[in-house]
Amino acid sequence: MLIDNTFFTNTILIPNLGIGIGKVNIDALIEKECYSFLQSLLGNKLYLELKSNLDVDLNLKSDAPQKWKDLLYGVTYDDKRWNGLIEVGKHFKFSILANYVYLCYIKNTTSLTSNNGQISLEPKNASNVNPTAKEVEVWNQIVDKVQETTYGDAPRLSKHRGILFIDWYGNNNQAFVTLTEYLKDFATDFPNPSLVTPEGYQITYKNQLGLWCEQKPLDKY
């Protein structure tokens, strides 16, 4: 598959991976949640095109069009750098797809959703709980990668692998772009992406209370 168990370390560590009683079948979780998230990001039409370029093991085919390789694994163009949905370095692996799968795992194993928000699963009593700071951090890493952060010629505060810096976009010889910016730059190859969650909500930051900065369903989704 596009990601595997080796992505789930450090902040998004999932314990007891495997098959059997008390184990987490990570392959099944990835197959369900990772590709659902991809579909919601790209929209149905683009996702079906991508899916047609995946093999039986849900890996990208070697003869897939270059645009899908660039989207997934990154590309440098016009003095800009898109790092890809899947980053693999010598000493690290990172993917917002893995982050999303991790959050689904946390949601499924520690809480359920009610009309009043999240409820912890306790034997006798259910109490309201907020997402932990860790979960908010993992979610906001997704937002960092997806959300458009440039506004005309103004500088922006950006984050790359956890390091904050001022990005004077347009004057930087190697400006890192987000998914939204990358898809806009290649709108001919990727027309009308949805860029929402599987529930149809915009991908926006959460604060430490677990509250959305702004969250509205998109009509087009």
DSSP for the chain?
--S-GGG--GGG---SBSSSTT-B-HHHHIIIIIHHHHHHHH-HHHHHHHHTTB-TTSPBPTTS-HHHHHHHH-EEETTEEE--SEEE-SS-EEEHHHHHHHHHHHHHHHEEEETTEEEE--SS---B-PPPHHHHHHHHHHHHHHS----TT--EEEEETTEEEEE-TTT-TTEE--HHHHHHHTTTTS-S---B-TTSBB---B-TTS-BS---B-TT-
pLDDT digits (tens, 9 = 90+) for 9-26: 988 998 888 776 667 788
Residue 218 is assigned to a structural domain of this protein: no
Evaluate if residue 133 carries a pLDDT over 50. yes
State the number of CA atoms in the 13 A half-sphere of 13 facing the CB.
Answer: 5
State the distance between the two ends of the chain, measured CA to CA, in whole angstroms. 26
Evaluate if residue 217 carries a pLDDT over 70. no
Task: Say what the pLDDT of residue 180 is.
Answer: 95
Residue 97 is assigned to a structural domain of this protein: yes
d(CA 27, CA 44): 23
Residue 199 is assigned to a structural domain of this protein: no
pLDDT digits (tens, 9 = 90+) for 187-202: 999 999 999 999 998 8
Instruction: Tell me how many domains the chain contains.
Output: 1
pLDDT digits (tens, 9 = 90+) for 65-79: 999 999 999 999 998
Q: What is the mean pLDDT of the chain?
A: 80
Containing domain of residue 44, as a range?
5-185
Residue 221 is assigned to a structural domain of this protein: no
- Name the token pair of 199: 């529930």
Residue 202 is assigned to a structural domain of this protein: no
Write down the pTM of the prediction: 0.76
Q: Name the residue type at position 71.
A: L
d(CA 80, CA 173): 7
d(CA 166, CA 107): 34
User: Which of the four pLDDT bands, split at 50, 70 and 90, describes residue 149?
Assistant: low
